[in-house]
Amino acid sequence: MLWIFSAAGYTASLVGCALAARFFLHMFQLNTYQPKAQRAWLRQNARRAPPLLLPLAGGFFFWPPKKGKVKKPLDITARLKRMIATLGLLFLLWTAVWVCLPLLWNGKVQAFQLLSAAWLPQILLPELILLANAINAPMEKAIRDHYTRDAMRMLREHPKLLIIGITGSYGKTSVKHFLYTLLRGKYNVLMTPGNKNTPMGVVKVIRESLSAAHEIFLCEMGAKKVGDIQEICDIVHPTHGVLTSVGPQHLETFFSLENVVSTKFELARSLPPEGILFANGEDANIRAELGRTGRDAVTYASQPGGGQYYAEEISVSERGTSFTAIAPDGEKERFTTGLIGRHNVINVVGAIAVAHALGVPLKELRGQVRKLQPVPHRLQLIDRGGGVLVIDDAYNANPSGAAAALATLALFEGCKILITPGMVELGEEEETRNAAFGAQAAVCDMIALVGVRRTEPIRRGALEAGFPPERLVCVDTLEEAMAKAMAYPMPGRKIILLENDLPDNY
């Protein structure tokens, strides 16, 4: 009977380990397989992350933390399969040591040894995942190096390909999409899709999508730490570069704004002598670094005097935006787009500057600008019907983007509702920036905050700015926030701004 009891407990523990492993591997994947990021996540989620061990049949069973709908499911990649295999080997090794050594020592195995064989691995599972990652690290590096060399070979065999690197703290994805639309009327263009802006993401795009017919490659370059942009530049060797902005983002890993500036300018330092750097002339950090280094750049702006390419006579409404763009040679053209928000003007002007410098007359760009569509989850208008309009700006909030989103919300007539979990990855500035965001949001008719603990600075900032407390709610999920917004008793049209949507590891 004792052996049956022990076997049942061992089986329960195996099930617990499998459930726990899936959860922790998912978080590790969302943390981009970075051990430092995973350890920081474990510290910040100490109450949520460790397995909840409950007695069951004399053993222990894992009950996964309560979670809502998963926003980004676990991706069963080849790398993840290798990690699972290594975890399995570690578990078998432990079982062999725990159960078999006593058998060799005195020729017998006690029932409690089988019962407890899965206890310790389950308790130490977060560390075992990091150990499996460390064991696999040399193999993973060899695989990455192989794929990277293959991508670099493909680029060498395409010497006439024009490669345009695009980076910035914010705005880079929008500029990439806008530039793709403007250039494809004349050139065969390949761009990195979605958020594939890491070294291996770029490598994958090259290996799977680049063909001999492509004339231009738009390569978005993301970064979370010093050296990330340089690593991508060393792979693709950009011909020209676009620097959209430099601001306080990912400060948890950059540690300082100076490091952000230096990292973004790795693109500028990687360009060949004949390469052109296109830069946002309105960004104070960019202007300061250009002045300090003496680096030449073609600048663009949304107002006269801000750059060599600039916009004037801007008209912005909830129906779209119109402006006149002026080139350095004096050529000018009137443009109209369905994009909303004054801040989008500078992104469009930046794309116009690059296309014009590559030989496309402004007049030929008018039709392409009319075709521009908002990038998904970046001030994307969604008509929900029934007098409800959603402004989806959920991709990734930052101080500048959040302020621009609120300014865009102000363009609309009706009941203005903000739904947000706040801004993250701002390091020591996070609380101050979120409090300022709350004060800015006090112009709304209703505010729904997602996550009571994390959004406390926003709540405090809004109330200190005079926002009525009865019109501010704090809930646990986006679904609850939407339900509160839809039920808010105010006549007429509702305009709901979704500002940021945190991934599952938050």
Rounded Cα–Cα distance for residues 59 and 462 (Å): 50
Average pLDDT over residues 330-359: 93
Q: Which of 299, 386, 390 is nearest to 340 (CA)?
A: 390
Residues 490 and 453 in one domain: yes
Distances (CA, A) of 31 to 99, 129, 247, 291: 35, 13, 22, 36
> Quick check: 283 pLDDT over 80?
yes
Q: Is residue 22 part of a domain?
A: yes
Q: When comparing pLDDT for 116 and 42, which is higher?
A: 42
Of residues 444 and 59, more confidently modeled:
444
Residue 186 shares a structural domain with residue 235: yes
Task: State residue 3's pLDDT score.
Answer: 47
Q: Are residues 396 and 365 in the same domain?
A: no
Name the more confident of 436 and 67. 436
User: Residue 267 falls within a domain, yes or no?
Assistant: yes
Under the banding of pLDDT at 50, 70 and 90, the label for residue 158 is very high
pLDDT band at residue 243 using 50, 70 and 90 as cut-offs: very high
Mean pLDDT (the chain) is 85
Same domain? For 462 and 393 the reply is: yes
Domain boundary among 140, 172, 195: 140
Q: Are strands 472-475 and 446-450 parallel, antiparallel or unpaired?
A: parallel
Would residue 456 count as lying in a domain?
yes
Domain membership of residue 276 (yes or no) is yes
Q: Note whether 183 and 329 are same-domain residues.
A: yes
Q: What is the CATH number of the domain that holds 183?
A: 3.40.1190.10
Structure tokens at 327: 């080139």
pLDDT of residue 21: 84
pLDDT the model gives residue 192: 96
Q: What is the pLDDT of residue 61?
A: 38
91-103 pLDDT tens trace:
888 777 766 666 5
Question: Last residue of some domain: 349, 370, 391?
Answer: 370
Which range among 66-75, 147-156, 459-468 has the greatest average pLDDT?
Answer: 147-156
The Cα-based distances of 496 to 90, 339, 434, 467 in angstroms read 50, 17, 19, 17
**Mean pLDDT, range 96-111, rounded to an integer:** 60
The pTM (predicted TM-score) of the whole model is 0.82
Does residue 439 register a pLDDT over 80? yes
Q: Which pLDDT score, from 0 to 100, does residue 184 have?
A: 92
Predicted confidence (pLDDT) at residue 10 exceeds the cutoff of 70: no
Q: Are residues 55 and 189 in the same domain?
A: no
More confident residue, 308 or 385: 308
What are the structure tokens assigned to 351, written together?
């794309």
Mean pLDDT to the nearest integer, 58-76: 55
Residues 221 and 259 both lie in one domain: yes
pLDDT at 237 over 90: yes
Distance CA 215, CA 160 (A): 7
49, pLDDT greater than 50:
no
| pLDDT value for 479 | 87
Report helix, strand or coil for 257: helix
In whole angstroms, what is the distance from residue 75 CA to residue 95 CA? 28
Expressed as residue numbers, the domain containing 63 is 2-140
Whether residue 133 sits in one domain with residue 182: no
Name the residue with higher pLDDT: 461 or 452.
461
Pair 170, 401: CB distance under 8 Å: yes
Higher pLDDT, 454 or 309: 309
Summarize the confidence of residues 73-83 as an average pLDDT.
89
Q: Are residues 297 and 384 in the same domain?
A: no
Within a domain: 271 = yes
pLDDT of residue 268 exceeding 70:
yes
What pLDDT score does 62 carry? 39
At residue 420, the pLDDT reads 92
* Token duo for residue 32: 């981009």
At residue 429, the pLDDT reads 79
pLDDT for the residue numbered 453: 81
Listed residues 140, 170, 205: the one ending a domain = 140
Q: Look at residues 389, 371, 393, 370 and name the one whose alpha carbon lies nearest to residue 380.
A: 393
**Domains identified in the chain, total number:** 3
Same domain flag for 319 and 341: yes
> Is 234 within the bounds of a domain?
yes
Residue 114: the pLDDT is: 58
Q: Does the pLDDT value for residue 506 go beyond 60?
A: no
- State the pLDDT at residue 276: 97
Predicted confidence at residue 50, as pLDDT, reads: 43
Spatial separation of the C-alpha atoms in residues 156 and 437, rounded to whole Å: 47
Residues 165, 136: one domain?
no
- Residue 147: inside a domain, yes or no? no
Q: Given a cut of 80, is residue 250 above it in pLDDT?
A: no
Asked whether residue 335 falls in the same domain as residue 391, the answer is no
pLDDT of residue 69: 56
Mean pLDDT on 414-430: 85
Residue-level pLDDT at 12? 63
